[in-house]
Amino acid sequence: MVEASQNNLRFFVLRLTGIKNLNKISSLYFVVKSQFNQESIMKIKRRDFVKILTLGGVLSEQFLTGESLAKNSNGLVDIFSGNSNSQVMSENIEKIYNQAIVHDGLVIARNWNEDSFEALKNSGYTGFNASIDTGNLANALKNLEEWQNRIKENPNRLVLATSAEDFIQAKKEKRVAVMLGFQNSNIIENSIENLNTLYQAGTRWMQLTYNERNLLGDGCTERTNAGLSDFGIEAVERMNELGIIIDLSHCGMQTTDDGIKFSKMGASINHSMCEALYKNHPRAKSDEQIKAMADKGGVMGIISLGYMIGPNLGEETTLETYVDHIEHAVKVGGIEHVGLASDFAIQGLKASGATRENWYVPRLTRFKPSYKVQWPPWIPELDTTDRYLHVARLLDKRGYSTGDIEKILGQNWLRYFRETLKS
């Protein structure tokens, strides 16, 4: 009975902290055991238990070196009372963030300049998916060449990402890995062979459709819901063969379902949100789609663009709402299948010059009313260069382990790239 309780507690330490080192697990077990007797352990609420165990580095550094932490009235180690402990937690999560692989599932890459480089430096990013302007094949190739030249001209700052190892290299060398791609496959025009051309030019991810129908399938605001065409299925097969990531973020419901079904490798949804939390928005994905994507190994990046997350920004919709979407996607798809994405310039919308006149007003006619565009469109904490540090802090506050926070920040993307990219 006692041995079973000890084994169960050790299991909880492993599950909640993500620590795999057996010595560390045993150390944390004895820390918790030293705080409670058998009767009090049985009465601990899970949330309080999580607060203790998910300290990770704080516990291993402070408890194991003999330092004491304050306890609250219930006899629990109180990590939220007192400036000292709060400061330790803040410093700890910043250390975790700085050491982590941090990947953004989609950054709008047009109009890149020195302000962009400065913002990138301050972001803590390891890498990002660069969304390049489309139009037609010629324009796409021109923009790919422009980005290839930018990377070559800035070898101390950027790395061209064509494999998972490029992100690891970038992290070691304090550079940022850039994976080039597009939000509309209309650029292949009417020829599957154009996928070969785009791949050779550096393309490693591509969204099957934007909001409208193209030759591959229906987008999310198209009146119909026809799914992938025969040409679209052929394109998916060739993208799989080449190692071009299939993205479904703006695809219609049936096109999303078909993209997951017909892709031999896991498809990505690199910038979207959960329909369960924001109903009747064409860009949201259902629980069934999130689960199906995850079952085949894909990753969903939760979009940071505030008006996509919920109504009444600043009131009903806040940073807490954003993390609610992360938590829901984790609940449905699993912790290994959720990441982060911005869907705007690296500087943030406000810093890159977005105004009511040049950003909001054009979108009232560019998008259908179902898009529910708001002004201002941002969540303040996410419209900064250190947006994902804010997310990491809130995940930590909600009881996520160090290992799980690192997965959401970028390890899930890294695993996915290893499984899908050929070179």
Q: What DSSP assignment string belongs to 170-233?
A: HHHTT-EEEEEEES-GGGGTT-THHHHHHHHTTEEEEES--SS--SS--BTT-SS-----HHHH
* 86 inside domain: no
First to last CA, the chain: 52
Q: Give yes or no: residues 278 and 359 share one domain.
A: yes
Beta-carbon count within 10 A of 128 CB: 24
Do 210 and 322 fall within a single domain? yes
User: Which of these three, 47, 81, 115, is where a domain ends?
Assistant: 81
Instruction: Tell me, yes or no, whether 88 lies in a domain.
Output: no
Co-location of 286 and 202 in the same domain: yes
Instruction: Flag whether 91 is in a domain.
Output: no
pLDDT at 258: 98
| Pair (66, 122) in one structural domain | no
Domain boundary residue among 81, 110, 141?
A: 81
Q: Is 257 found in the same domain as 375?
A: yes
Task: Indicate if 20 and 131 belong to the same structural domain.
Answer: no
pLDDT value of residue 87: 53
* CATH (domain of 348): 3.20.20.140
Neighbours of 409 (CB within 10 A): 26
**Which range of residues forms the domain containing residue 300?**
97-420
Domain membership of residue 272 (yes or no) is yes
332 and 371 housed in the same domain: yes
Burial 267-304 (b: 16+ CB within 10 A, else e): bbbbbbbbbbbbeebbbbbeeebbbbbbeebbbbbbbb
* Residue 195 token pair: 């996928």
Instruction: Quote the CA–CA distance of 377 and 367 in Å, as a whole number.
Output: 14
Q: What is the pLDDT of residue 177?
A: 99
- Please check whether residue 103 lies inside any domain of the structure: yes
> Do 195 and 143 share a structural domain?
yes
- Note whether residue 308 is domain-resident: yes
Among residues 24, 11, 88, 16, the alpha carbon closest in space to that of 48 is found at: 16
* Each residue's pLDDT tens digit, 209-221: 999 999 999 999 9
Largest distance between two CA atoms of the chain: 71
- β-strand partners of 179: 129
Do 72 and 136 sit in the same domain of this protein?
A: no
Judgement on whether residues 72 and 122 belong to the same structural domain of the protein: no
Residue 408 near residue 100, CB atoms below 8 Å? no
Identify whether 90 is part of a domain: no
Mark which of 81, 106, 134 sits at the end of a domain. Answer: 81
- Is 72 found in the same domain as 27? yes
Shared domain check, 311 and 350: yes
Q: Is residue 130 part of a domain?
A: yes
Ranges in the chain, pLDDT < 70:
1-90
